[in-house]
Amino acid sequence: VTLPSASDETFDELMRDLDPPLLVVTTAHDDERAGCLVGFHSQCGIAPRRYALWISRANRTAAVATRATAFAVHVLGAQQHELAALFGAKTGDDIDKFARCAWVPGRDGVPLLADCPDRITGRKRDLVEVDADHVCLVIEPLDTHQVRTDSWLRLAEVHDLRAGHPPDDPPHPR
């Protein structure tokens, strides 16, 4: 086991201080549904518009994402800790997350979370392997809805959660 250096710890602290808003990405392929909590994400294109999310290879969501084309990206409100726990601290390998939350099927069956009206639905443009333990999912937004304008759920609010699949888990079988 290699202990983190002082610089690694400073990196971790800087990343925590940036305090990103948290998203839930969902997807579906045939009858298979998947989704996970995501803190690594950003707009990555202007013309055309593109959004990038980084998905851990360990997650079941990464495996389904290789086959799926439709995705929904939900922005969580400050009060939605419970949904963050369902999608971030549990894996679809153990439980059916979609039996435990309200959703309706959208484009190509992608689950739209009923309690998360702030969302982008779109299609996969790329799923890129890079030298990291997460892969980059690039989405073309097709339909965006915004209801809330502030008070998003941020990383600092969920320090009690432990990832359902820690990133040092082996890559999920696809």
Ligand X SMILES: Cc1cc2nc3c(=O)[nH]c(=O)nc-3n(C[C@H](O)[C@H](O)[C@H](O)COP(=O)(O)O)c2cc1C
The residues that touch ligand X, with contacts defined as CB under 6 A, are 34, 36-40, 54-56, 59-61, 87-93, 134, 155, 158, 161, 163-165
Comparing CB distances to ligand X, the nearer of 58 and 112 is 58
The answer to whether residues 23 and 75 touch, using CB atoms and an 8 Å cutoff, is: yes
CB of 44 to ligand X, least distance (A): 14
Residue nearest to ligand X (CB): 164
Comparing CB distances to ligand X, the nearer of 29 and 134 is 134
The answer to whether residues 145 and 55 touch, using CB atoms and an 8 Å cutoff, is: no
Comparing CB distances to ligand X, the nearer of 38 and 139 is 38
CB of 102 to ligand X, least distance (A): 18
C-beta atoms surrounding 122 within 10 Å: 23
Q: CA distances (Å), 55 to each of 88, 94, 130, 135, in order? A: 12, 18, 11, 5
CB of 83 to ligand X, least distance (A): 11
Query: What is the DSSP pairing of strand 70-75 with strand 49-56?
Result: unpaired
